[in-house]
A = this chain, B = another copy of it.
Amino acid sequence: MSEKKKFGIKDIAKLANVSIATVDRVLNNRKDVSDVTREKIQKIIKENNYRPNMYARSLSVKNNLSIAVLIPRTSQQTGYWELCLTGINKGIDEFSSFGINIDVFLYDQEDVSTFNKAADTVFETKFNAVVVAPIFIEETRCFVDRCKQNGLQTIFINSDIPNSSSLGYVGPDLYSTGRLAGNLTSYLVQDESKLLILNVGKGLQNYKYLNTKIEGYTKYLENLGRNFDIVLRDIHHNDYNDVSRELSNLVEEIVPDLIFVTNSRVSVVGQFFHERPDFVKPHIIGFDFLPSNVDYLAKGVVDFLICQRPDKQGYLAIEYLYNYFLLKEKPADIKSMPIDILTIENYLFYEN
């Protein structure tokens, strides 16, 4: 209903006494325009604050961008990747009407061969870009090189292999994430408390991933000079019963004032203390907005959940590629994701 007649290419052409083709040439700064007309047109463009109509532009160039997504399959032990996929799917819904088509390839994060197989499959179709979550460092490096040879842009999510992907990284800053956990810890416990850092999970391929967090955590707390007694332990199991058994031994031995679970498996620790009121419950900090984790946050068993928005990572990656390819925007460096703190009082409003 607004009376503003949209100022378009035709109007520019009329003002400059040239054809729309010439205007288009200077807009997309191509050849075949004399300097004098080019400058005349550019002046008109600036003066009238011309904004191209993206609908028309995108309709005209038959841009069907196609993107491959290569991430781990959701296992029953961790719903983490399901969240990530949720974000990807949201991106698919939103962008498929805009000429983007997205194919998702899943691999088993405990089996390298499935990654390689999925990687091969990617090359069977001609994609423009691939979003990949690097679990197997070396294999991913190979894959990225192969993409580069085939003119495929790459972008990482969730964890980074620095200077490897062609378009960058969307995900959390792991070291800072660890420091934040340390920060929250410092509010929860008194000086000289006993702190237990706990790695839970069968796999061990992403140790570097966890270690960065742990380093941030311990460095932060050591610098406080509050004489905490920090212990680091692994529980190499996924199943609750196995974890429970080891945990009961651990807790009996260490008697921690606080447990920092370094990944998204914090719910099993929560479950343990919820089912075993015979143990005095320590404070608990963990990661990720999984339903099971939120459950124990809501029950008051887990104090803080630190979240890195895996769903948003996926969505942002897609959105970034959309901007990069279709709107031809400058590669505006991808920032790290926000690191969110969830408590029993604000989790309800955490957006998906």
Contacts and interface: CB of A to CB of B under 8 A. Distances in A.
A27 B32 CA distance: 44
A126 B348 contact: no
A248 to B, nearest CB: 27
Contacts of A66: 1-2, 4
Given A55-B98, A64-B6, A338 B349 contact: yes
Nearest to A350: B338
Interface stretch (A113-121, A182-190, A226-234): A182-190
Interface string A1-38: 11110100000000000000000000000000000000
B64 A53 contact: no
A229 to B, nearest CB: 21
Contacts of A220: 345
A180 B101 contact: no
Nearest to A190: B190
B346 A343 contact: no
Contacts of A55: 54-56, 58-59, 98-99
Contacts of A58: 55
B351 A346 contact: no
Interface string A71-96: 00000000000000000000000001
